[in-house]
């Protein structure tokens, strides 16, 4: 059943699915591109890292499973449910992941998430990737609001969000389960035109 809205959707259905997922420059030699099957080893390696595992409870266990995730990522784009990019150096070396999820075209709202491989941390990779993705989503696609939430204990993610123009809006108490129990979550948001 379709819902009758009293207001038009912020983003027209079909806008994403009607074109291929874009490759986005992120400054310097960083390029955001769709995941490729050959990226499976690097993706799986990220989830062997203790710091990545600390913040992500949904983890692949094999390269076959990673490739299944990549297939789901392609379906997410076609169904307009999300967009998932490899953060790369010159389109080749995988440095991290960035994604848009929870796409709400009616209200023009989406969530952003990211991780970076250990060797790329501390060099501004996540900040440049999030800034580039945000500019594309807000300015080119027309989202009105993008959100990032992360554990209040994840200080690196908080710095990335803040440096990328996401204002801290508050704390969601006991909002997520991690391996060590429940965590409070910071909610950051960036609004088009800010």
What's the distance, Cα to Cα, between the start and end of the chain in Å?
Answer: 36
Question: What pLDDT shows up at residue 4?
Answer: 75
- As a whole number of angstroms, the distance between CA 120 and CA 134 comes to 20
CATH of domain 24-191: 3.40.630.30
β-pair type (109-116, 145-151): parallel
pTM higher than 0.75: yes
Question: What pLDDT shows up at residue 26?
Answer: 97
Q: Read off the pLDDT band of 3 (50, 70, 90).
A: low
């Amino acid at each position: 059943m379709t819902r009758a809205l009293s207001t038009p959707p912020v983003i027209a259905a079909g806008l994403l699915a009607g074109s291929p997922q874009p490759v986005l420059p992120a400054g310097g030699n960083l390029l955001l591109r769709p995941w490729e099957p050959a990226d499976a080893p690097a993706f799986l390696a990220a989830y062997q890292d203790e710091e990545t595992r600390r913040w992500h409870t949904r983890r692949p266990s094999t390269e076959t499973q990673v490739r299944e995730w990549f297939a789901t990522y392609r379906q997410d784009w076609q169904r307009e449910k999300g967009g998932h990019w490899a953060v790369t150096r010159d389109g080749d070396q995988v440095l991290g992941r960035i994604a848009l999820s929870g796409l709400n075209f009616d209200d023009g709202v989406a969530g952003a998430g990211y991780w970076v491989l250990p060797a790329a941390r501390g060099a501004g990779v996540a900040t440049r990737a999030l800034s580039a993705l945000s500019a594309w989503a807000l300015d080119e696609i027309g989202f009105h609001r993008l959100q990032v939430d992360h554990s209040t204990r994840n200080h690196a993610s908080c710095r990335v969000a803040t440096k990328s123009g996401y204002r801290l809006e508050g704390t969601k108490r006991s909002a997520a389960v991690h391996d060590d129990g429940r965590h409070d979550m910071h909610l950051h948001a960036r609004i088009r035109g800010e």
